Structures are given as structure tokens and as C-alpha cells.
Amino acid sequence: MKAKVLFMGTASFSRVVLEKLIENEYDIIGVVTQPDRVVGRKKVLTYPEVKELALKHKIPVFQPENIKKEYDDILRLKPDILITAAYGQIIPEPILEMAPLKAINVHASLLPQYRGGAPVHQAIIDGNEKTGVTIMYMVKKMDAGNIISQAAVDIGPDETTGELYERLSVVGAQLLVDTLPSIIAKTNDSIVQDEALVSYAPVITRAKEFISFENPCQVVFNLVRGLNPWPGGFARFQDQNIKIWNGRCEIRQVTAKPGEIVEIAKDGIGVACLDGVYFIEDIQIPGKKRMLVKDYLNGKSIFDLGDCFDSQIPDEIR
């Protein structure tokens, strides 16, 4: 059977999955993705990556602003199977139920761990050493459907969300094409998720982007790399939001209060944490471009020994 596939996805993760389906000559009858968005200071109207790929291969594209209200055109496609990967909106039941071979999702965690919109971020923020990808059936409840197949991936000790996300997209794409033949032939197995093992990875909020040095050094380290490259973590210093993109952690005894700058080295600004010093190595001052600290310190610096980062995020920027 040559199944007609409707694909739903938006981000770079989705593009890699769609590329793999096209490469393996699946019949993609349509792609549903998010609307074009204005991006950057120059406000350039930008296509989702999935849309660019679909147009290149002359695949019809649908971009509902609110798919809960705008799905009649999608239902008319009558696919045999629906495949989603990092789409970005909650999909209504009529779409989930329209395909005879059902709706499946490529999810970037080892379910039932990390249901939700930020599983890659959360795995790194939590300091996990392993994560993976799950192919699952979709149901109304978020990420709660039966598991069809999984592949585990080790997380590098210094790996960022962007780096892991890229690797998982390749693993997920391959797992999908390895799994699809049995789904289409209706010979696949699936297992019910163990609700006792469920954990969640909700979409990153503004408050979660805040970096407080009143934490163990490794917690700060994991949060910074977990928010890199998007949305980026920030600390508060002299009423400014200072973006911190990368750094290193040194566990050692410190007598300074958390948040105090205790060392300014040629390549890092050392900030006291509960159990050590976090060295900021990649920084972005408001109104300036991102740069390595070793380059930033060649110019006029706003940081001095003994200065302190704030311990709390102001209510008005939560």
C-alpha cells in the first residue's frame, strides 16, 4: 500500500523529518505548518522551514492561524495517515481522527518522560545523561498515546539544546521511516504509557529564562545550556537583562554571597554560586551583539569585582 501522508510540523526538527519522508518517496499530499512570521529587528516576513521545503517539492501547504477553527480544507485532503513533528499548535480531534491509519507523532523524549512542548530543553536543564525519540499514536490528551517505537540518545556533558535538538531530529527521522512500514501494513505493536512514570516539559516561560546564582553551580550550568540557542537565559545586573549563552562551572569553596563577581579572568567573568563559581564565557549586553567574554573584556566593561547580580526576577518582566 502506498499511503497518502499528511505532514504537520514547523521547526527545524520537523524539516529534517519531512526531508526523510520525501527521500524515502512517501506520498506527501499536504503539509500543515504555522503561518509566516515577522522575524528580527528588520521585521522580515519569514517562512517556516517546513514550508520552504514543501514548496521546493511542490507539496501543497496549509497555514491556519488557529487550527482549532480553520481545518475544513485539511479534512478534504483525506490522508491515509497523519504524521506530526513539532507542529506548535494543539490539533483538534476531527483532524486526529480523520485518517484510517490514525495520527502518529515524532516526539523528542522517551515517553512517558517529558510530555509537553519543551522536552529537549527540559532534559538538559534537569542534567539528564540520556533522552531519545518516541513514535507514538496521538490522542486528545497531550502526548499520552500508545508508544510504537523508541530510540535512546546519550546527552553530552556540555551539549546545548540546539546541538541535541539537531541530533534528535536525525534520529527521529530515521526511526520514523524504520517504523512506518509496519504501521502502514497494520502489523506494528504499541504499548500503553505507564501513568506512574509521567513527567512534563511545558513550554519555556519568561520566568524560567531567569538565571539565579542562588543555586548550585551545576544547576546554573545546565540551565544556561538548556536555554541555548533559544530562548536564551538572562541574569539581572544593575536593572538590565544580561543574556548568558555559555560558561563553565568550577566546584570550589566560596565565601562570597551568591551572585557576587569574584573573579574576572581573560576569558570569563566568575560569579559565586552556592557551591562554586560559574564563569560566564559568552555574553550579550542589552543593545549589543552576542560576544565571547574574552572579546567583551577588551572594551569598556560594566562589571567589576564585588558587583552583584540580582537574586530575584522583577515581577514586571515575568
pLDDT tens for the chain, 318 residues long, are: 689 999 999 989 999 999 999 999 999 999 999 999 988 777 888 999 999 999 999 999 999 999 999 999 999 999 999 999 999 999 999 999 999 999 999 999 999 999 999 999 999 999 999 999 999 999 999 999 999 999 999 999 999 999 999 999 999 999 999 999 999 999 999 999 999 999 999 999 999 999 999 999 999 999 999 999 999 999 999 999 999 999 999 999 999 999 999 999 999 999 999 999 999 999 999 999 999 999 999 999 999 999 999 998 887 776
Half-sphere exposure of 86 (CA within 13 A, CB side): 25
User: What pLDDT sits at residue 313?
Assistant: 87
CA angle 190, 203, 240 (to 5 degrees): 160
Q: How far, in Å, CA of 272 to CA of 235, rounded?
A: 13
Residue ranges, comma separated, of all CATH 3.40.50.170 domains in the chain are: 4-197
| Set of cell numbers at residue 47 | 517562512
Q: How far, in Å, CA of 199 to CA of 115, rounded?
A: 6
User: What pLDDT sits at residue 276?
Assistant: 98
- Class of the domain covering 4-197: alpha beta
Q: How far, in Å, CA of 206 to CA of 227, rounded?
A: 11
Q: How far, in Å, CA of 165 to CA of 304, rounded?
A: 36
* Pairing, β 4-9 against β 103-107: unpaired
Residue ranges, comma separated, of all CATH 3.10.25.10 domains in the chain are: 207-317
Type of residue numbered 83: I
Name the nearest CA neighbour of 14 among 41, 42, 46, 49.
49
| Set of cell numbers at residue 124 | 538538559
User: What pLDDT sits at residue 306?
Assistant: 98
Query: To which H or E segment does residue 178 belong?
Result: helix 161-185
Name the nearest CA neighbour of 244 among 227, 256, 219, 258.
227
User: What pLDDT sits at residue 159?
Assistant: 98
Q: How far, in Å, CA of 95 to CA of 67, rounded?
A: 9
Q: How far, in Å, CA of 214 to CA of 182, rounded?
A: 51
* Pairing, β 240-251 against β 291-292: unpaired
* Pairing, β 4-9 against β 27-32: parallel
User: What pLDDT sits at residue 190?
Assistant: 98
User: What pLDDT sits at residue 1?
Assistant: 64
pTM: 0.96
Q: How far, in Å, CA of 33 to CA of 9, rounded?
A: 5
- Class of the domain covering 207-317: alpha beta
Name the nearest CA neighbour of 29 among 54, 9, 48.
54
